[in-house]
Structure 1
Amino acid sequence: MQFSGYGSGKKRHEHDLLGDRELPDEVYYGVQTLRALENFNITGVTLRDFPIFIKGLAQVKKAAALANCEIGILDKEICEHIVMACDEIIAGHWHDQFLVDMIQGGAGTSTNMNANEVIANRALELWGKEKGQYNFIHPNNHVNLGQSTNDAYPTAIRLAALQSVPGIVEALEELCATLSEKGKEFSDVIKMGRTQLQDAVPMTLGQEFEAFSVMLSEDIERLREGSKLFLELSIGGTAIGTGINSHPKYAATAIKKIKEITGLNVVAAPNLIEATPDTGAFVMFSGILKRLAVKLSKTCNDLRLLSSGPRCGFGDINLPPMQPGSSIMPGKVNPVIPEVVNQVAFQVIGNDLTVTMGSEGGQLQLNAFEPVMVFNIFQSVNMLSRAMRTLTRLCVKGITANREACRRAVEHSIGLVTALNPLIGYENSTMIAKEALESGESVFNLVLKHKLLTKEQLEEALKPENMLSAR
């Protein structure tokens, strides 16, 4: 059912405010979409690259048709065919007809008209009519009935955002679970903890990986909480929130239909004039995505440091080798998966700034910069979801511990004296630390040499279970 090209050569003519234009008859979009394609060749990233957003648009148009039909201002047969077209789009068909650039002037009007025209022409086709026979089903008069871009477009954004959250949460939960599994696997691996890149005190590698899991898992609830801001919809506000050109019963009926279609517990904004230009929910949600990105990047920084080497770095862990690391240095393998996740994080952090500036740039009764906000938010969601799945499956699952290297580092580290301080006292600890620094001898051996502890006592002190909590 997907569009396959402009092969027939047959044309149709459509007109708008600016005049007549010719379109290939195969396309389902119309004249206003055509103008947008000519005007906004900006990013090369189009609506069809975000299927969840197209789904949201179709859900809004379906709800609008059903609402208008229920309150008696849209013919039942027209409604049925609009709903049929919307259902096909919701199911994933005709997405190749949504070609407008994600970043566009006009506060999303081109996106809204792209949806209106595709739905109208597909509905006409389902009714046995010709594309462009808008006297039967019109993009504005019927598909856009009771709506403005200024309420339909942000409503679609919010529905898409709400429906995108389960995917990113699932990817984050999988990553956290895998890190926690590694925490259990490495629970008996003693190693040195480090602060400011200097030896600190012993810990277990399991504790380190469990900490990664806990740090990231905090954002699971933050994502769910942040997405709840999108449940408040401005549908029915039309142009500036006054509801002009919509039926008095339309707003409440449209909310009811959206609930039925999506299963989401959406509500009407209490003040539609406030809700129409307000993009605070976008800023808040983008900030949560940024917070997650920062934590992911920090985790990947740690994985790269912990795996550095193989001979001249920390060498606490081994990352699974994914590809040769150099065109000139034989045998070199780079931490390519953490590196790509770092770069995704940098992009998401930049996206958040763009969303902030877009929200700040709004004026009076409308924010004209929602297109760049939605582009950056959905890009962030998609990139983070893919990055976390990549990190989980191609990196974390395959990490192994350098057990002996970790143990040797503990025994040779000056920081070991901090763990032994309660057993041998501060003065002895200072003496051992100084001698270890001057001689290069390990703390472990010096404690034995000075007969401050027996080997059995030292071994007991360094058991992983004795490093898990305060003693």
Structure 2
Amino acid sequence: MDTSSGVASSRTEKDYVGEVTIPRDKLYGVNSVRGRDNLSVSTQTVGHHAEFVKAFAHVKWAAALANRDRGVIGAPVCDAIAQACKDLVDGRFRDSLIVDLMEGSGGTSTNMNFNEVIANRAQEILGSPAGSYDVVHPNDHVNRSQSTNDAYPSAQKIAIYEMLAPLIEALGELASTFDAKAKAFFDILHLGRTCLQDAQPMRLGHVFEGYAALTHRLKAELVAVRNKLLTLPLGGTAIGTGFGAPEGYRAAVYAHLAELTGVHYVAPDNPFDAMQNMDTFSRVSAELRTCATALAKIAADLTVLSSGPVGGLGELRLPEAQAGSSIMPGKVNPVLPMAMIQLSFAVVGNDVTVAQAVQYGELEINHFEPVVASRVFDSIHLLTQGIQRFNTKCVAGITADRERNESHLLASMAVATALVPRLGYAKVSQLARQSVAEQRSLVEILGESGILSREDTLAAIQKSSVPAF
């Protein structure tokens, strides 16, 4: 402890294990240190995600106001706790949130990290030194009428609710880009393929209509599952009985939470269900997985349709984002679609983890909330960042090679399907076999034989490429 300046550079706190030394400029306490030293396994602390910090601070802030209303803490203590929570919401003191996001204490270490930081900041506001807890205590005041078991999952839901907003916005923007491409490519004839084989005539715009419809649907499903996060277990305390909270606390805490966040969070219909089960997180994660894999399918399509440019299909041109090889000059790879596919692997893995954690809750609570938080936060971040880049750096700049699209169609057996209504199945089959045997296009054979002019054949193809509904 350096006291040469007349001011101690550290303080000491102790618990039943022993004493710990804490830097004077940090607001965490002994419980936070134990959590950090025992349970640090990942690269992120609970202070890493701003939304999670704000969510926890809002939970503690609303609880303090409700406790003041019910007469269990005084106004000066409440005001100091409220100011400390506001400091966290404003981005201050995040370097004192030192517990690992993946800590294995069932969230207790995380909850106590917030309790200690808020209590010590409130102590400072009221003129008392951090660590003494003589005016504001982490458990008796900051954690009053709560437990880890209702505070942590409530903050987790609030954080995920906020994190989903930018992802939903990014999906909407991507859907709009696909809409625009569908209109731009509508009149380009395109060879539709099934099982990677030539199938039927269609329009290139129809391909992008499908992508747009899917992306709009992904957005709508995320909006729907996001609303399931509005039900919180706050007020259930340890196991759902509400023991430890005064009468009227639950109504008061939800009212204050609405005022602080601008979101109308509600209490569960059954508090025991809310404490025992985390199926809502499983549903959210499943939608994130569906979003990732669905967009990966689109990304894979784009890599195929843009393949080449000489030895592949080359029907689409993707923006050239960067050099594709350290040894092959001029090679350009579809790096943005590849990135979307790759991140989908990670999101699928995250979803498996969430499913396992939700399954292994025991009796009255689920104590694997930290890994669920970590994995869902990661999936949302990957998708939000990935979709934004995929949209702006790739999809928005896609162009089509009209000539190549139409030449592939006209040279293929897919033309035969368009001719059946006019010439009959048997006749078209005969012509198709001739086309294969002579290695010439149907369009050429029809024109030479006088059965159909090139213009009539193209008209039949155009008609077949427009949906009949």
TM over 0.5, yes or no?
A: yes
Q: How much does 1:232 deviate?
A: 1.5
Identity %: 39
One-letter amino acid matched to 1:123: A
* 1:470 and 2:460 matched: no
State the superposition RMSD in angstroms.
1.5
TM-score by length of 2: 0.96
Map of 2:37 onto structure 1: 38
Alpha-carbon contact 1:9-1:24 (below 8 Å) kept: no
Please name the residue that 1:298 is paired with: 297
Where has structure 1 moved over 4 Å in runs of 4 or more?
none
> Is the CA contact 2:106–2:368 (under 8 Å) kept in the aligned structure 1?
yes
Query: In the alignment, does 2:351 pair up with 1:346?
Result: no
Give secondary structure in 1 for the equivalent of 2:47: helix
The structural deviation recorded for 1:118 is 1.4
Contact 2:201 2:464 in 1 (8 A): no
1:433 is aligned with what amino acid?
A
Structure 2 equivalent of residue 4 of structure 1: none
SS in 2 for 1:48: coil
Q: Verify the 8 A CA contact 2:302 2:337 in the aligned structure 1.
A: yes
Distance 1:22 1:387 in 2: 42
SS of residue matched to 1:43: coil
2:52 is the alignment partner of 1:80 = no
- Give 1:24's aligned residue: 23
Contact 1:103/1:375 (8 A) holds in 2:
yes
Q: Secondary structure of the residue that 1:199 maps to in structure 2? A: strand
Q: Which residue of 1 aligns with 2:4?
A: none
Greater displacement, 94-103 / 229-238: 94-103
Aligned to 2:64: 65
Supply the distance in 2 between the matched residues of 1:294 and 1:113 (Cα, whole angstroms). 37
| Structure 1 portions without partners, runs of 5+ | 1-7
Summarize the alignment of residues 159-178 of structure 1 with structure 2, pairs less than 5 Å apart.
Answer: 159-178=158-177
Match of 1:395 in 2: 394
Instruction: Give the residue type in structure 2 aligned to 1:352.
Output: D
Q: Which amino acid aligns with 1:308?
A: S
Provide the rounded CA distance (Å) in 2 between the counterparts of 1:17 and 1:174. 55
TM-score by length of 1: 0.95
Q: Which residue number in structure 1 is paired with residue 231 of structure 2?
A: 232
- 1:306 touches 1:315 (CA, 8 Å); kept in 2? yes
Identify the range of structure 1 (14-23 vs 56-65) with the bigger mean alpha-carbon deviation.
Answer: 14-23
Answer yes or no: is 1:112 the counterpart of 2:107.
Answer: no
In structure 2, how many angstroms separate the alpha carbons of the residues matched to 1:286 and 1:69? Answer: 37
> CA separation in 2, counterparts of 1:354 and 1:58?
27
SS at the partner of 1:49? coil
Q: Residue type matched to 1:469 in 2?
A: P
Work out whether residues 125 and 131 of structure 1, in 8 Å CA contact, stay in contact via their aligned partners in 2. Answer: yes
1:364 shift after superposition = 0.8
- The alpha-carbon deviation at position 230 of structure 1 amounts to 1.6
CA–CA distance in 1 between the matches of 2:258 and 2:15? 34
**1:364 and 1:288 mapped to 2: Cα distance?**
27
Amino acid at match of 1:110: S
- What code does the residue aligned with 1:325 have? G
Q: Is 1:314 the counterpart of 2:313 in the alignment?
A: yes
Match of residue 94 from structure 2: 95
Q: How far apart are residue 49 of structure 1 and its match?
A: 2.3
Q: What amino acid sits opposite 2:128 in the alignment?
A: K
Query: Counterpart of 2:316 in structure 1: which amino acid?
Result: I
Gaps (5+ residues) in structure 2?
1-6
Aligned-partner Cα distance in 2 for 1:356–1:176: 29
User: Which residue of structure 2 lines up, in the alignment, with residue 5 of structure 1?
Assistant: none
CA distance in 2, matches of 1:132, 1:99: 16
SS of the residue corresponding to residue 233 of structure 1 reads coil
Deviations 1:180-224 (A, max 9, x none): 111111111111000000001111111101110101211222112
In the alignment, the residues of structure 1 paired with residue 434 and residue 456 of structure 2 have an alpha-carbon distance, to the nearest angstrom, of 21
**1:91: how far off?**
2.4
- Within a 5 Å distance, the mapping from 1:422-437 to structure 2 comes to 422-437=421-436
Q: Which residue of 2 aligns with 1:193?
A: 192
- Paired positions, count: 463
